[in-house]
């Protein structure tokens, strides 16, 4: 099984030429993992950028996420094939259920079994989930089988550290992928992060990313600026002290930024 990359490029909210430029720049800087989703409306542009980059497909790790409208067993596989066509590839490296089916309209087990079937057909190398509660995670793991859920992608940043979900995922051998690690930029002015950044000659964004990485999570920050993409990538070399990690742990205030009505589960 392909190892889940610890660091990748997020593409949420990036569309058209903006996402093409972001992906091309990131690949030029050395990024090799790209995260997208059906609902982002940018898979075709990402496919174009990858093709234009000249980076061999074998060197890339591409993630997409299946939208809620496509979670039924008779639709999931065909929707994933449409994603592959847009991405100009015969497989993705990771396919996730983006959100649990609203109101449980499609049972978790049905979607996960369909995702497993897509994996068995070679449409995706690995499978996973996103935005699940612990109860829904249990259902997904039971349906997938031991060791089949590669990652759970969740909102996680210094102001929402999601410790219960992280602990349960770890107990089940499921890697956690942090999205919104910079909290929509809200954490960048935090005094604690600012002080730690100054001590290392780093940026607050690099401190937040290094914090999540040191907790063992994967991160997928996005940017449209070359200097920010390069700085984000360099966060992998930043090592925080135990005392600094402990200080950041105190910043958790349960501040959830992504909580769409009618879509979000009952959070832990």
Each residue's pLDDT tens digit, 222-264: 999 999 999 999 999 999 999 999 999 999 999 999 999 999 9
Q: Angle formed by the axes of helices 134-144 and 108-120, to 10°?
A: 40
Q: In the block, which residue shows the tokens 């109860």?
A: 135
Instruction: Please tell me the predicted confidence (pLDDT) of residue 16.
Output: 98
- Distances in Å between the Cα of 11 and the Cα atoms of 38, 102, 224 are 11, 24, 9
Each residue's pLDDT tens digit, 37-66: 999 999 999 999 999 999 999 999 999 999
**Please, are residues 188 and 235 in contact by the beta-carbon 8 Å criterion?**
no
Catalytic hit among 31, 40, 159, 179:
40
- Distances in Å between the Cα of 177 and the Cα atoms of 103, 213, 221 are 24, 10, 11
User: Is the pLDDT at 19 greater than 70, yes or no?
Assistant: yes
Closest Cα to residue 16, out of 42, 47, 48? 42
HSE at residue 248, side-chain half, CA atoms within 13 A, is: 29
Is residue 50 classed as helix, strand or coil in its secondary structure?
A: helix
9-249 placed in CATH 3.20.20.100:
yes
DSSP 160-229: B--HHHHHHHHHTTPEEEEESTTGGGGGGG-HHHHHHHHHHT--HHHHHHHHHHHTT-EE----SSHHHH
Closest Cα to residue 115, out of 150, 165, 155? 150
Average pLDDT in the 197-209 region? 98
Is residue 40 annotated as a catalytic residue, yes or no?
A: yes
pTM of the predicted structure, to 2 decimals: 0.97
Q: Sorting pLDDT into bands at 50, 70 and 90, what band is 2?
A: low
Domain-by-domain residue ranges, the chain?
9-249
Question: Rounded distance, CA 65 to CA 84, Å?
Answer: 11
**Please, are residues 153 and 95 in contact by the beta-carbon 8 Å criterion?**
no
């Amino acid at each position: 099984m392909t190892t889940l990359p610890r660091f990748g490029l997020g593409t949420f909210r990036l569309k058209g030429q903006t996402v093409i430029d972001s992906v091309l720049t990131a690949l030029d800087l050395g990024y090799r993992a790209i995260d997208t989703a059906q609902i982002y409306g940018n898979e075709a542009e990402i496919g174009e950028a990858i093709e234009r980059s000249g980076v061999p497909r074998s060197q890339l790790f591409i993630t997409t996420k299946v939208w809620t409208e496509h979670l039924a067993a008779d639709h999931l596989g065909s929707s994933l094939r449409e994603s592959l066509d847009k991405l100009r590839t015969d497989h993705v490296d990771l396919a996730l259920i983006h959100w649990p089916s609203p109101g449980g309209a499609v049972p978790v087990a049905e979607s996960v079994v369909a995702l497993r079937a897509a994996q068995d057909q070679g449409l995706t190398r690995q499978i996973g989930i996103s935005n699940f509660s612990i109860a829904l995670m249990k259902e997904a793991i039971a349906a997938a089988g031991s060791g089949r859920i590669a990652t759970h992608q969740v909102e996680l940043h210094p102001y929402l550290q999601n410790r219960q979900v992280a602990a349960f995922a770890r107990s089940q051998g499921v890697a956690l992928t942090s999205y919104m690690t910079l909290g929509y930029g809200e954490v960048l002015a935090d005094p604690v992060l600012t002080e730690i950044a100054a001590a290392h000659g780093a940026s607050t964004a690099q401190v937040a990313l290094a914090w999540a990485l040191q907790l063992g999570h994967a991160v997928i920050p996005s940017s449209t600026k070359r200097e920010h993409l390069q700085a984000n990538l360099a966060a992998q070399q930043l090592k925080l002290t135990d005392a600094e990690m402990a200080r950041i742990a105190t910043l958790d205030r349960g501040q959830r930024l992504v909580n769409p009505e009618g879509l979000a589960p009952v959070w832990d």
